[in-house]
Structure 1
Amino acid sequence: MSESNSAILYISGRLPARSETFVYREVFALRERGTQVLCASVHEPERDLGEPRLDALAGEVIGVYGPGAGRLLKDAARECAAHPVRSAGALWGTLVDAALEPDCSVARRPKLFWQTIAGLALARRLRGRGVGHIHAHMAHVPTTIAMRTARQLGIGFSFSGHASDIFPQRTLLRAKLRRAAFTACISLWHRELYMSLARDVSAEKLPVVRCGVDLPEQVERAEAGGAPIVMGVGRLIPKKGFDVLLEALATLKERGVEARCVIVGDGSEMARLRAQVERLGLGDRVELKGALSNIETRRLLGKATVFALPCRVDEKGGGDRDGIPVALMEAMAAGVCVVSGAVTPIDELVRDGETGVMTKPGDGPGLARTLEELLTDHDRREELASRGRAWVHEEFSQETNIQRLEAALARVGAIPAVDSRRETACGLDSDGAGSRSEGAPSPVGGTAR
């Protein structure tokens, strides 16, 4: 890597975005540690997120689709004129991918050409900015554009896959795994999934890099007086299971168990959840707060008794499922006892009965029983919260995972080499296999031995 090409470009669907704190945290952490990071946003970034640094980030990002279709086509045409052979190769490669790659639906194949045009336009906008590597978050559109842009510039790319982008919206995932300099795996389960899809990809190219969270040095808990609070945070979409949480709260009400519920987030299910609150007679117990700033969400989290996110696989939504929700990590880091749906790979974070409690997905009565037990057993709740916070500190902290990311970037020459201490933190054993402690959840179900 030359000094003239020492910057890394980060690209995501929207950067910054309220629900993707892990992306901009990586950007800020890398910058704080001396790496020059530029940012691109496929769509317009979210603004007014309640933090000046996020407003500043939104103002500096390089737009992809944001400047408009006319500007996109103009910049792509300029790139083609300046580099006709390479540009023709990009368009031909897209045609081959659309015709031959298996993991791209027929409906998405025409979109590949528009994403290649976007990649050419982004390449034009990046020339002269010293970008030597591109890292994308989300394995579908952002990584497709990153792959085309990197090829056009003659540099490497890498990516992090998460949830819907590798399930219902999967696009060219096998090809991306083969072509990427590395793929950051947010869980051991993701790593084994990728290895099953692209068996010719070496283990070294699949480092485990979690979505890290910041841990406050001291936990400041100030549970509100009155009824205990069950809190949930996430997008209001089926896989989060908030309808199951409301069903459980109705059961608690029938049993005479005092509890309030605060749900933070917005999404397509808002109207249906409001109707469910009214139908179940929970208007005096449930607050649907909508989207809040991260600062306000953390303030509310400090008052929560239990954090509940009863995730499930959305079979009607093409098998959409969560990776490892950052909201759960943040609750555990804040010292709150957590409950989640028993969905892989969440079990790498919430170890049932050890760092939290897992319940059967979609089981409202079962969730109600678990919540009642936790709300009425202070000692167990605190023990689970303490163990959960310790596990997040050990495996999911920003510090740990930014070192793993730096090691992966250094291994492919995207940043200067890191020392051996950081190399050992990269989530890989000496033979390139991901480390997994005895008894850790297995990515294919059951328990690793």
Structure 2
Amino acid sequence: MKIAYITAHAPFGRGETFVLEEMLAVAELGADLLIVPRNPPKEVFHDPGRQLLDRTVWLPLFSAGICLAFLKAVILKPRLWKVLTNIFRHSRTPKILVKNLAIAPKAALIADLLRQAKVQHIHAHWGSTTATMAWIASELTGIPWSMTLHRWDIAEDNLLRLKVKRAAFVRCISEDGRREVLRIVGDQYQHKVKVLHMGVRLPDTPPAQLRPPRPAFVVACPANLVRKKGHRYLIEACALLRERDVHNLKCLIIGDGPLDEELRQRSKALGLNDVVQFLGRLSHRELIQMYGRGEVDVVVLPSIVTENGEKEGIPVALMEAMAYGIPVISTETGGIPELLGGGAGLLVPPGSSQALAEAIVKIMRDGSLRTQLARSGKAKVETDFNLKLNTEKLLELMKGTCSR
């Protein structure tokens, strides 16, 4: 089966590691992939991205050739007029309208590319402009399409009702996300909107069972430095633990983003330079190697719901740690309880540095709890968030559209 994936940047750039892993898993299951990133940079940061380069078409978002092809399509393809009319009619804000119109020329161009390549199904990650590209390409070619919705892209509601209506199926990564989608588009689409979790690769070899000798208990927070990840509460929790004479603690902030300087200053102001270390963004391989060597004792993701309603789906960062038998702590936001419920991890209220501090010290001092969380978390991932099993289910959904 030949499948086209439309991504934001992957396999290029530093993000979308979970999309990279899924596409690689789809290819390993025998599917013939063609990957079209929306506006790709030139950099390839992650190893799985390098493995997918020979399946990828690098095209800029704008070029003279793309604009010329679009003008030709406007003249020769009446179907494109209907698409553009729907974009003008249903884009609910001027910003969304501009975003959709900006990707329309490239979408019209890749429609011909996908037809010539004999693609049988188009799949987009994110319900925003990547899904708009997939929808346009499908409308111009008749190739069935689908999309994976995550979190912010649901709240944005970029032609969501129209896209759900026209897609062969819609995949949400959490039950919470599915409920939010149906609130927007209506219960008449219940049969089409499905829950299929993202997944992670299970370790090829058993992870290290014993931590290597070291003087400190290591907490890691692998997450982009953005507001919804709640890093400030973890930093403040470290300060509270120091006040309680907990000195054998090391906190690794792994990631980069717009809050980098603000968080560094917060840590410095609290006198935590010897406790909190900012490692910047590590490659996916480097992070997984840390887990495999047993260099992290607990992974903490102190996520919050931001003032504008932004929140988590089900973070892959937690799944990866759990797959390696590392206990995790996170908050009761978004789809996280779906992952950590039933004792697979510790859940605390969002925005509470005190609750985070108590959870960390509890895991530090209770070896039996660490063992229980490690086993329960690993079992949860193996059963419900297994990349291979979930990719097989996704591929079956895509194959089911080919008989339409």
Unpaired runs of at least 5, structure 2: none
1:378 aligns with 2:367: yes
Q: Which residue of 1 aligns with 2:73?
A: 79
Q: Which residue of 2 aligns with 1:3?
A: none
Residue pair 1:139, 1:159 contacting (<8 A) in 2 also: yes
Q: Which residue of 2 aligns with 1:364?
A: 353
Q: Which residue of 1 aligns with 2:287?
A: 297
Give the C-alpha shift of residue 408 in structure 1: 1.3
1:107 aligns with 2:100: no
Distance 1:15 1:45, change over 3 A: farther
Which one-letter code corresponds to 1:69 in the other structure? S
Give the C-alpha shift of residue 50 in structure 1: 4.5
Secondary structure in 1 matching 2:271: coil
Give the C-alpha shift of residue 320 in structure 1: 0.9
Moved more, 144-153 or 70-79: 70-79
Which one-letter code corresponds to 2:100 in the other structure? L
1:197 aligns with 2:192: no
Secondary structure in 2 matching 1:304: coil
Distance 1:373 1:296, change over 3 A: same
Give the C-alpha shift of residue 200 in structure 1: 5.1
Give the C-alpha shift of residue 87 in structure 1: 2.3
Residue pair 1:18, 1:46 contacting (<8 A) in 2 also: no
Give the C-alpha shift of residue 128 in structure 1: 1.0
Residue pair 2:251, 2:275 contacting (<8 A) in 1 also: yes
Which one-letter code corresponds to 1:395 in the other structure? D
Q: How does 1:23-422 map to 2 (within 5 A)?
A: 23-45=19-41, 47-51=43-47, 53-58=48-53, 60-64=55-59, 66=60, 68-81=62-75, 83-98=76-91, 104-167=92-155, 169-199=156-186, 201-217=188-204, 218-221=206-209, 223-224=211-212, 225-257=214-246, 258-301=248-291, 302-315=294-307, 318-351=308-341, 354-413=343-402
Distance of 1:72 and 1:219 partners within structure 2 = 48
Which one-letter code corresponds to 1:298 in the other structure? I
Give the C-alpha shift of residue 84 in structure 1: 2.3
Q: Tell me the C-alpha RMSD between the 2 structures.
A: 2.0
Give the C-alpha shift of residue 173 in structure 1: 1.3
Distance of 2:217 and 2:397 partners within structure 1 = 44
Secondary structure in 2 matching 1:207: strand
**Deviations along 1:363-416, whole A, 9 cap, x unmatched?**
00111111111111111011011101101111000122112202211222279x
Q: Which residue of 2 aligns with 1:447?
A: none
Residue pair 1:221, 1:303 contacting (<8 A) in 2 also: no
Distance 1:414 1:31, change over 3 A: farther
Which one-letter code corresponds to 2:10 in the other structure? L
Which one-letter code corresponds to 1:238 in the other structure? R
Moved more, 188-197 or 325-334: 188-197
Distance 1:70 1:97, change over 3 A: same
Distance 1:235 1:125, change over 3 A: same
Instruction: Give the counterpart of 2:7 among 9, 12, 35.
Output: 12
Report the TM-score, using the length of structure 1 for normalisation: 0.84
Unpaired runs of at least 5, structure 1: 1-5, 99-103, 416-449
Distance of 1:124 and 1:298 partners within structure 2 = 39
Secondary structure in 2 matching 1:406: helix
- % identical aligned pairs: 31
Residue pair 1:75, 1:124 contacting (<8 A) in 2 also: no
Residue pair 1:133, 1:414 contacting (<8 A) in 2 also: no
Distance of 1:360 and 1:12 partners within structure 2 = 33
**Deviations along 1:34-59, whole A, 9 cap, x unmatched?**
111110101114634252x4224246
Secondary structure in 2 matching 1:324: coil
Report the TM-score, using the length of structure 2 for normalisation: 0.93
